[in-house]
Structure 1
Amino acid sequence: MRKKSLLEAFKQTQYQISGHGRRNIQVLKEALLNIDGQQESDLYGKGKIIEEFQTKVAKFLGKESAVFFPSGTMAQQIALRIWCDEKGLNKVAYHPLSHLEIHEEDGLKKLHNIEPILLADKKRLIVMEDVMNMGKDVACLLLELPQREIGGQLPDYKTLESISTYCREHHIKLHLDGARLFEILPYYKKSAAEICSLFDSVYVSFYKGIGGIAGAILAGDETFTEESKIWKRRHGGDLISLYPYIISSNFYFDQRLNKMNEYYEDAKELANFFNQCQGISTNPLVPASNMFHVHFDMPKEKLESTLIAIYEKTGIGITSYVKETSVKSCYCEISIGDQYCIIPKDELRRLFEMLIK
């Protein structure tokens, strides 16, 4: 008899700790429920449906202009290409665990001939000293807030202000990988516009904390965004219509933006539960947003078997995957959304009693 996988067991649970629920067709159906079927779609980046959303998000971010992209990968490579061309330099700087470095098959290097300068090491955030030592022959510095691959850690706001000032004084463009920008607003207690004012260009995602189908916004001044539209066409991102992505992004943006503080508080509560279990710890100890990593002092295969048994007894899924860190340890990522608050507290306590045992 074939052994059940962790993913299969997770899908069969009644409750899931992470996310907004299952990524199924219902996500789009809900977004389309009150949309007039006669409304015209966007057409190659033009039309009321896309232009109004771009204007709405640009205003929220405090930027002059914004462009909707089908993917953040496309948007960020284009942003860095524009800044490199403007300065006549093919070097950019970012963290060694940036999405561009570990998840994009060297797209920045192969498609744009841009050389990355990796700052800091893999276990910590970029600090002011790293920026000052990176050299001045860099067209752009990219900061990811929060730094996902190390548990969603964030620098303090004064560090951001210092880095921004340094970059402007040395004519280095500063780009924000704000895939999870909405999720960090409660931590900084700042508006999106205040944070984005420190950066020359900003990318935000609409499928992570917001929970849309897919899609991203790239924002900056009008000269920058007009150039990004040309590169969007060159990348094949100017689909004839993007309205399913735009409608779902707009719908869930309105529905979930004001819940980010709730998700943040729930994440801190949940991390505390994990940290009370021997052999389990979170990174960071206290989450800086709605996401964090959970580390287990147990071999991956043994943990998966343990979790499957717990899922079957409690009906609560913690994670659908576990990543190995050594032969004796592993971790998973947690991102709090709408699902956490619907789990009965008694059932949640029972789950952690079993984890402790």
Structure 2
Amino acid sequence: MADSSEDLKARRKAAAAESTRWLTGRRPSVADALRKLADVATDEERDGYGSGGEVALLESEVAELLGKPAAVFMPTGIAAQQSVLRVFADRAGTQRVAVHGLSHLLVHELNALEEVHRLRIERLTAEPRQPRPDELAAIPGSLAAVTLELPLRDAGFVLPTWDELVLFAEACAARGVPLHLDGARLWESTPYLGHSLAEVAELATTVYVSFYKGLGGLSGAAVAGPVDVIAEVRRWQRRLGANPYTLFPYAVSAREGLRSVLPLMGDLHDRAVELAVGLQANGFRVFPEPPHTNSFRVYAPRPADKMERAAVRRMEATRESLTYLWRAADVPGWSWVELVVTPDTLAWPVDEVVKAFGELLGD
């Protein structure tokens, strides 16, 4: 008799705990995380409510990387982006904000923009791709801001080309509307776009970045932009309770991510492309093809429940963790999973990863 879904989840959790090798990396224990923080922290004084210390150093580094005059660090991206969009709405005298229908702002935040700030959402498109200038032009009337998620995670980590990004930014500028980049994974996007972080950020008025995704920090985010806008964002940071007594653990881990992981983004993207080629040649399909970032979707010609059981059995037998949960695809009988290439992935030869995935099909 096959395990129930709950039993299978319990088996996966137990197998993950006993694994000794992880393709996409393992979340460190509390003790390991604290030891690392102690090793990399400076002798700076602690920040006070997000002011000074490691937080100030991080804000300065982010502003320089993004080529913006100022930046503010916050514990969550949700608070960071709510704050900047609220500033734009108050300045413009309208609550209308143009957003992609698959944006994290709409899909994963419990309708916060409307419930908390009464912003009115104008959807650019709901298609699993980046929006086009003509779709922006089709939205009449005044807009407080336009947001662009780079990459669009819920479409499969999809990016525009550089030329498409420039054209979209020019359309916003011609309309006189601030462009805000939702760049939770912007660090991972520059290899495909072929331009530096500052060159990408120059196309927008404000940019949000995250530190716990590709950079592996504990948590935290930053918004960079004009001095006057960031000053107003700080006021909303306070109103939203996003400046606790101290933020130094998050700032320390974020700065370490900038030092140790950011320089690897080109290598991570190259490895993602190599893995995609190998998987495509061995019964799988990938999207996008080739991957736009270090993350992409892998599709298997087998139902999700069977792929998940095969994955868990392999974990139990080899003590190796390959993937997250497999999910049902739109095509009946197929399934998919996100594959995120991390620095840990670089220790795995490409042919070994392809062989391991192939075992899930042949199980």
Partner of 1:298: 302
Matches for 1:24-39 after TM superposition, within 5 Å: 24-25=29-30, 26-35=32-41, 39=44
Q: TM-score, normalised by structure 2?
A: 0.92
The residue correspondences of 1:118-267 to structure 2 (distance < 5 A) are 118-267=123-272
Matching of residue 318 in structure 1 with residue 322 in structure 2: yes
Letter in 2 for 1:99: H
Which residue of structure 1 lines up, in the alignment, with residue 101 of structure 2? Answer: 96
Q: Could you give the per-residue CA deviations for residues 6-56 of structure 1, whole angstroms, max 9, x where no partner exists? A: 3433443332222x43243223421321435x6421001222322122111
User: Would the aligned equivalents of 1:31 and 1:252 in 2 still touch at CA under 8 Å?
Assistant: no
Q: C-alpha separation between the residues in 2 aligned to 1:318 and 1:133? A: 44
Q: Is the 8 A contact 1:299 1:328 kept in 2?
A: yes
Alpha-carbon distance in structure 1 between the residues aligned to 2:96 and 2:11: 43
Q: Percent identity?
A: 31
SS at match of 2:269: helix
Q: Which residue of 2 aligns with 1:78?
A: 83
Aligned equivalent of 2:279: 274
Kept after mapping to 2: 8 A contact 1:150/1:283: no
In structure 2, the CA distance between the partners of 1:190 and 1:262, relative to structure 1 (3 Å rule), is same
Instruction: Say whether residues 1:13 and 2:22 are aligned partners.
Output: no
After TM superposition, give the deviation of residue 207 of structure 1 in Å: 0.5
Following superposition, the deviation at residue 300 of structure 1 comes to: 1.8
Are the aligned partners of 1:32 and 1:247 in contact in 2 as well (CA < 8 Å)? no
Confirm whether residue 22 of structure 1 aligns to residue 27 of structure 2.
yes
Provide the rounded CA distance (Å) in 1 between the counterparts of 2:350 and 2:288.
24
Distance 2:347 2:252 in 1: 26
Cα pair 2:162 2:194 within 8 Å, conserved: no
Residues 302-326 of structure 1, C-alpha deviations (whole Å, 9 max, x = no match)? 1111112233344432213223335
Give me the whole-angstrom Cα distance separating, in 2, the residues matched to 1:277 and 1:346. 11
What amino acid sits opposite 1:162 in the alignment?
L
Return closer, same or farther for 1:315/1:229 CA change in 2, 3 Å cut-off: same
Distance in 1 of aligned mates of 2:316 and 2:179:
48
Residue 330, structure 1, aligned to residue 301, structure 2: no
Greater relative CO (CA pairs within 8 A, separation 6+)? 1
Aligned to 1:52: 57
Do the aligned residues in 1 keep the contact of 2:49 with 2:245 (CA within 8 Å)? Answer: yes
Identify if the C-alpha distance between structure 1 residues 210 and 224 changes in structure 2 by more than 3 Å, giving closer, same or farther: same
Q: Aligned-pair distance for 1:243?
A: 0.1
- Residues of 1 paired with 2:243 and 2:139: CA distance? 35
Quick one: distance in 1 between partners of 2:94 and 2:327?
Answer: 37
SS in 2 for 1:116: strand
- Measured in 2, the distance between the counterparts of 1:155 and 1:74 equals 26
- CA distance 1:353–1:34, change in 2 (3 Å): closer
Gaps of 5+ in 1: none
